[in-house]
Amino acid sequence: MTHLRTIALLACAAIIVVWSFTARSQNAASALKPEVTVTGDLVRVGDILENPGANANQAIFKAPALGASGTIQVHRVIEALRAHGIVVVDTRNLTEVLVSRASRSVTLSELGRVIAEAAAKRYEIANASDLSVTFDRHMNPLQAEPNVTDAPRVVSVVVDQRNNRFEAIVDMPGSIALRRSPVRFTGTLVETAEVVTLARAIPRGETIRESDIVVERLPRAEVVADALSRTEQVVNQAARRALRSGQTLRAADLMKPQIVSRDDAVTIVYRTKAVTLTLRGKSMGNGAEGETISVLNPQSKRVVQATVTAPGVVMVNEAHPVTTASVNENR
């Protein structure tokens, strides 16, 4: 009897030693991670524990939305793990675990481009680039699974042309989450046009340089019909009148730069089929290249009509008659 009691005691001691060793091993190996990033819609034991063992693939929580993060209190984690037979865990003195859901983010800029393209097609607008999309302030980038490479797709788009409000439904063909629940985007969609505006005020007669202008887009409804849209239409032209900063330019606002001014000394070139003569004269007015101005011939004291051809140079030909009026030298 004594022998049997001794064997029983030894067996119990062995069980206690084995349990103690197993507990210590599990305690050392299974420890909570302070931060977790998951790719699916479930958080599993293997996501939240280091060395989770055979239970690694067991789901214990629902993951946050794509691209979102959230925290789980440690006591809830312990309860979930116990339900799967994991009772010894090193909590590392944590109070919560941060869980993030990995995603591919599609920017509002990219979404605006595809919405503009869809709207241009539906409403028969020639250039999608003429449409300006502005999202409502609470709109966020679109989130899809990180392995999805498809471009976003506009399922539907409706524009209220009375107030330019739009509503678009967007998904991505390769995204399970977005196919299941497409995202609604709202905002304003306005047709625009490029115009040339002034970066600074320009006095009358001053030549406009490239640094003086800005090409910008304005709502088409605000753009006058004859507004200029290309820089080459403006650069090296002169202001026909004083122009203000920010003003949209029209052809009527511009003229060729004056290269001859009143009272300038000029070279008069007189040309016929037979002969070309040059003499000095005086301009009686201002003129741009190609314009006709009056010029005093100091030798004959007569005024002739001449075409401005270059700075300080005018040309008289047989088609321009000479006036009979003389001019007083002391004028």
Query: Which token pair is 262?
Result: 């009143």
Check whether residue 181 and residue 203 sit in a common domain.
Answer: no
Neighbouring residues of 280: CB distance < 8 A, sequence distance ≥ 6: 265, 266, 267, 268, 298
Check whether residue 30 and residue 96 sit in a common domain.
Answer: yes
Last residue of a domain, one of 74, 102, 130: 102
Check whether residue 75 and residue 128 sit in a common domain.
Answer: no
Last residue of a domain, one of 53, 76, 102: 102
Q: How many domains does the chain have?
A: 4
Nearest to 322 by CA among 262, 268, 260: 268
Say how many CA atoms lie within 13 Å of 49 toward its Cβ. 31
CB atoms within 10 A of CB 279: 14
Residue 11 lies in a domain: no
Check whether residue 312 and residue 245 sit in a common domain.
Answer: no
Say how many CA atoms lie within 13 Å of 246 toward its Cβ. 1
- Please answer whether residues 69 and 80 qualify as being in contact, where contact means their C-beta atoms are separated by less than 8 angstroms: no
Check whether residue 114 and residue 186 sit in a common domain.
Answer: yes
Nearest to 135 by CA among 168, 87, 97: 168
- Rounded mean pLDDT of 284-298? 88
Check whether residue 214 and residue 284 sit in a common domain.
Answer: no
Contacts 24+ apart (CB under 8 A), 215-219: 217/132, 217/192, 217/193, 218/192, 218/193, 218/248, 219/132, 219/190, 219/191, 219/192
Residue 18 lies in a domain: no
Residue 12 lies in a domain: no
Check whether residue 251 and residue 264 sit in a common domain.
Answer: no
What does the pLDDT read at residue 283? 92
Contacts 24+ apart (CB under 8 A), 16-25: 23/88
What does the pLDDT read at residue 47? 95
Residue 1 lies in a domain: no
Phi/psi at 325 (5° precision):
-75, 140
Last residue of a domain, one of 102, 123, 153: 102
What does the pLDDT read at residue 318? 62
The number of residues making up the chain comes to 331
The CATH number given to whatever domain includes residue 48 is 2.60.480
Range of the domain at 200: 193-255
Taking CA atoms, 183 is separated from 6, 77, 100, 152, 231, in Å, by: 73, 32, 20, 11, 41
∠ at Cα 295 (290, 299), nearest 5°?
140
The CATH number given to whatever domain includes residue 295 is 2.30.30.760
**Per residue in 30-58, pLDDT tens?**
899 999 999 999 999 999 999 898 899 99
**Per residue in 111-170, pLDDT tens?**
999 999 999 999 999 899 999 999 999 999 999 999 999 999 999 999 998 999 999 999
Q: Which of 14-28, 155-169, 186-200, 238-252 has the lowest mean pLDDT?
A: 14-28
Check whether residue 45 and residue 96 sit in a common domain.
Answer: yes
- Rounded mean pLDDT of 74-99? 93
Nearest to 68 by CA among 23, 24, 29, 38: 38
Neighbouring residues of 113: CB distance < 8 A, sequence distance ≥ 6: 128, 133
Residue 2 lies in a domain: no
Residue 331 lies in a domain: no
- Rounded mean pLDDT of 281-295? 89
Residue 13 lies in a domain: no
What does the pLDDT read at residue 271? 84
The CATH number given to whatever domain includes residue 229 is 3.90.1210.10
What does the pLDDT read at residue 22? 43
**Per residue in 54-70, pLDDT tens?**
899 999 999 999 999 99
Check whether residue 167 and residue 180 sit in a common domain.
Answer: yes
Q: Is residue 19's pLDDT more than 60?
A: no
- Please answer whether residues 267 and 295 qualify as being in contact, where contact means their C-beta atoms are separated by less than 8 angstroms: no
